[in-house]
């Protein structure tokens, strides 16, 4: 049996797949979990380890009103039915509904970013068929499995290949899962505008919290530049898919720090299929964020 190995540097782990990648379809009953958590119930957006082993600053934050009241609610905007965050905001002194971080960043930093048509995407995929593209359903499945693993509501049996590879990577650097999908109120330029969630929080060997933005799949031409970000303070930064990911984890970490959570480091972590392997890449913090 092949073992996981590092490729070129200590931030990339290549994990051989155990058989074929499980297909994410409505018929795939093996991916169901026994958790009773519902995102539409207040205080059930996130999962965390047992209280006696929780990191002190995170434990204090989770007792506050924002994570205890945060949930998702169905709303109708125009003709579309979508989910919005709903929570009580101490800053505004009332219950609010709002969207997430991604649309906020797009409207401010890259409003016209939509570089590839369906035909162009097919062309890129045919050029390197070994690289597996992004898959929304699979990303949601990985998020769900990681969330359930944190509080022990599911076992490590029959995990998606990406989930297993991510776990193996974190273990290889001495990290343990500590919390997942933690909601936090985001303020920009002094005004409360949105809510965001931290995909995963891990605890390193020294007891420090790390914030991770989890990405599954390989986007089209992720390093290709499409001009620059449209707004300060990042108007000098090239507009690329990888840099968009870095913005997401940066603002999530800053929101947690502002809420009193002691975040030691933050990173984007990417898991994608290549040939018959799963590659896990921890993206280093770029110079423009240091």
Q: What is the pLDDT of residues 63-112, one digit of tens each?
A: 999 999 999 998 887 778 888 999 999 988 899 998 899 988 998 999 98
How far, in Å, CA of 142 to CA of 241, rounded?
Answer: 20
Q: Name the pLDDT band for 26 (thresholds 50, 70, 90).
A: very low
pLDDT per position as a tens digit, 258-270: 999 999 999 999 9
- Predicted model pTM: 0.86
Mapping DSSP to helix (H, G, I), strand (E, B) and coil, where does residue 257 land? Answer: helix
In angstroms, how far is CA 216 from the centroid of its own chain? 9
pLDDT(28) > 80: no
For position 15, what pLDDT does the model report? 73
CA distances from 279 to 130, 169, 180, 208, 236 (A): 12, 10, 21, 25, 31
pLDDT at 122: 62
Q: Which residue, chain included where needed, has tokens 């995909």?
A: 199
Strand intervals (E) in the chain:
5-6, 12-16, 47-48, 71-77, 80-89, 94-98, 176-188, 191-203, 209-216, 263-274, 277-283
Q: For the residues 21-42, what does the mean pLDDT come to?
A: 57
Q: What is the pLDDT of residue 135?
A: 74
User: Mean per-residue pLDDT for 24-44?
Assistant: 62
What is the mean pLDDT of the segment spanning 58-62? 98
pLDDT of residue 191: 64
The residue among 186 and 26 whose pLDDT is bigger is 186
Distance, CA of 184 to CA of 67 (rounded, Å): 7
What local confidence, expressed as pLDDT, does residue 121 receive? 62
Angle CA 215–84–233, to nearest 5: 60
Topology classification of domain 5-26+98-289: Lambda Exonuclease; Chain A (3.90.320)
> 1 pLDDT band (50/70/90 cuts)?
very low
As a whole number of Å, the CA-based R_g of the chain is: 19
Q: Are 276 and 17 in contact (CB under 8 A)?
A: yes
CA distance 264 to 201: 11
pLDDT at 60 over 50: yes
pLDDT tens, 118-165?
666 666 655 555 666 667 888 999 999 999 999 999 999 999 999 999
- Cα–Cα distance measured from residue 97 to residue 112, given in angstroms and rounded to the nearest whole number: 26
Alpha helices in the chain (DSSP H): 56-62, 65-69, 101-109, 118-127, 136-150, 161-172, 241-258
Q: Under 8 Å CB-to-CB from 7, ≥6 apart: which residues?
A: 13, 14, 279
CB-based burial, 73-100: b 16+ in 10 Å, e otherwise: eeeeeeeeeeebbbbbbeeeeeebebbb
How far apart, in Å, are the Cα atoms of 218 and each of 14, 134, 269, 288?
A: 15, 5, 12, 23
- The neighbouring-strand residues paired with 230 are none
- The DSSP output letter for 289 is G
Strand order through the sheet with 12-16:
5-6, 12-16, 277-283, 263-274, 209-216, 191-203, 176-188, 47-48
The pLDDT value recorded for residue 203 is 97
- The mean of the pLDDT values for the chain is 85
Q: Which residue has the higher pLDDT, 33 or 76?
A: 76
pLDDT, tens only, 215-224: 999 888 899 9
Over residues 29-36, the mean pLDDT reads 48
Nearest to 212 by CA among 262, 287, 167, 269: 269
What does the pLDDT average to over 260-282? 94
Q: What pLDDT does residue 22 have? A: 45
pLDDT band at 29 (very low <50, low <70, confident <90, very high): very low
């Amino acid at each position: 049996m092949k073992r996981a190995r590092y490729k070129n540097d200590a931030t990339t782990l290549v994990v051989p797949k155990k058989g074929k990648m499980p297909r994410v379809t409505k018929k795939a009953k093996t991916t169901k979990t026994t958790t009773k958590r519902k995102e539409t119930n207040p205080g059930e957006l996130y999962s965390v380890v047992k209280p006696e082993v929780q990191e002190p600053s995170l434990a204090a934050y989770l007792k506050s009103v924002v994570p205890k009241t945060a949930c998702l609610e169905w709303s109708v905007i125009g003709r579309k039915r979508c989910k919005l965050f709903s929570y009580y905001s101490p800053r505004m002194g009332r219950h609010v509904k709002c969207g997430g971080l991604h649309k906020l960043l797009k409207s401010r930093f890259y409003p016209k970013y939509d570089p590839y048509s369906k035909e162009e995407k097919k062309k890129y995929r045919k050029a390197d068929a070994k690289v597996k593209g992004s898959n929304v359903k699979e990303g949601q499945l990985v998020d769900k499995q990681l969330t359930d693993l944190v509080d022990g509501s599911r076992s490590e049996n029959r995990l998606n290949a990406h989930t297993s590879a991510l776990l193996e990577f974190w273990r290889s650097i001495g990290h343990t899962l500590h919390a997942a999908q933690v909601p936090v109120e985001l303020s920009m330029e002094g005004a409360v505008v949105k809510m965001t969630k931290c995909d995963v929080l891990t605890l390193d060997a020294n007891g420090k919290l790390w914030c991770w933005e989890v990405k599954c799949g390989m986007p089209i031409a992720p390093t290709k530049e499409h001009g620059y970000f449209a707004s300060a303070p990042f108007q000098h930064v090239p507009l690329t898919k990888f840099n968009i990911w870095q913005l997401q984890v940066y603002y999530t970490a800053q929101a947690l720090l502002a809420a009193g959570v002691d975040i030691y480091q933050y990173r984007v972590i990417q898991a994608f299929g290549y040939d018959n392997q799963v590659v896990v890449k921890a993206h280093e913090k770029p110079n423009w964020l240091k």
